[in-house]
């Protein structure tokens, strides 16, 4: 192994990926494992999580709701005590709800806040407490192209992803002095279960292909390199940064 490739080697590291039974979370867990990390899968559906664990050949699954502060804290503390350190955290759990803002249901707004931003706080804090004691750790929050841009019908989602970007800056500001690197990945439009309705809409796909300089939907595997970089020694002085992986959509009008 050359010095350059060694910078990206995750052998001996353990990574927790929330919301990792499918979609982006599953792809990132698979990529981290292929880079040498021991992965811990998380989700609320034990059956789906068990299947993902078999597919990825990992013994570690943590079934908890990332919006439940007490459950998150207890599960993380128990895992650290029984199994060992969580060196890398990928806060991926998230959801979408599409409705014009003037008719957006208040309960859906609250659910978005809890799932997309409160979960980042809950899991980030629970894991960071242990990382701080070890003076080392990597936290990667999954933001969105909507961290910087907005589209009709998803204003509350846009608000939550803007908050993820700023919470990432706050994490870096508070925790860099303890040896943690806290950054975010902001995906553009990717073919995932969360975007299934849009992928199935020919009109939207045509718009997206024209709007995105790369001219297409992203494939989830194209997020893996960014995640490995931010999880590895290669990003040892990168902190509070949001890395857009979006085919150029935020770069052009």
pLDDT per 10-residue tile (average), the chain, 253 residues: 85 98 96 98 96 96 98 98 98 96 98 98 98 98 97 97 98 98 98 88 96 97 98 98 98 93
Of the candidates 91, 102, 44, the one whose C-alpha atom is nearest the C-alpha of residue 52 is: 44
* Angle (deg, nearest 10), helices 23-34 and 46-56: 30
Domains of the chain: 3-245 (3.40.50.720)
Q: What is the pLDDT of residue 1?
A: 65
Q: What is the pLDDT of residue 192?
A: 87
Q: Cα separation of 46 and 236, whole Å?
A: 35
Q: What is the pLDDT of residue 164?
A: 98
Q: What is the pLDDT of residue 4?
A: 74
Of the candidates 26, 33, 41, the one whose C-alpha atom is nearest the C-alpha of residue 9 is: 33
Q: Which residues are the active-site residues?
A: 157
Q: What is the pLDDT of residue 195?
A: 87
Query: What pTM value is reported for the model?
Result: 0.96
Element (H, E) at 221: none
CA distances from 121 to 16, 42, 66 (A): 15, 16, 9
Q: Cα separation of 69 and 193, whole Å?
A: 26
What is the average pLDDT value for the chain, to the nearest integer? 96
């Amino acid at each position: 192994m050359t010095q350059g490739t060694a910078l990206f080697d995750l052998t001996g590291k353990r990574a927790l990926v929330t919301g990792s039974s499918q979609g982006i979370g599953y792809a990132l867990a698979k990529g981290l494992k292929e880079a040498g990390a021991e992965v811990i899968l998380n989700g609320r559906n034990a059956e789906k999580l068990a299947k993902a664990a078999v597919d990825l050949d990992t013994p570690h699954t943590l079934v908890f709701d990332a919006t439940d502060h007490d459950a998150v804290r207890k599960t993380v503390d128990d895992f650290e005590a029984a199994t060992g350190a969580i060196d890398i955290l990928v806060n991926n759990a998230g959801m979408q709800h599409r409705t014009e803002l003037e008719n957006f249901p208040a309960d859906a707004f609250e659910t978005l806040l809890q799932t997309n931003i409160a979960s980042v706080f809950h899991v980030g804090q629970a894991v960071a407490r242990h990382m701080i004691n070890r003076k080392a750790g990597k936290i990667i929050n999954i933001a969105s192209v909507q961290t910087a841009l907005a589209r009709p019908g998803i204003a509350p989602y846009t608000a939550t992803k803007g908050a993820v970007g700023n919470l990432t800056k706050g994490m870096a500001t508070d925790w860099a002095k303890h040896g943690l690197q806290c950054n975010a990945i902001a995906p553009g439009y990717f073919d995932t279960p969360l975007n299934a309705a849009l992928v199935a809409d020919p009109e939207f796909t045509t718009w997206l292909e024209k709007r995105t300089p790369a001219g297409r939907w992203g494939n989830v595997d194209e997020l893996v390199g960014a995640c490995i970089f931010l999880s590895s020694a290669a990003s040892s002085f990168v902190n509070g940064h949001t890395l857009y992986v979006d085919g150029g959509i935020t770069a052009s009008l």
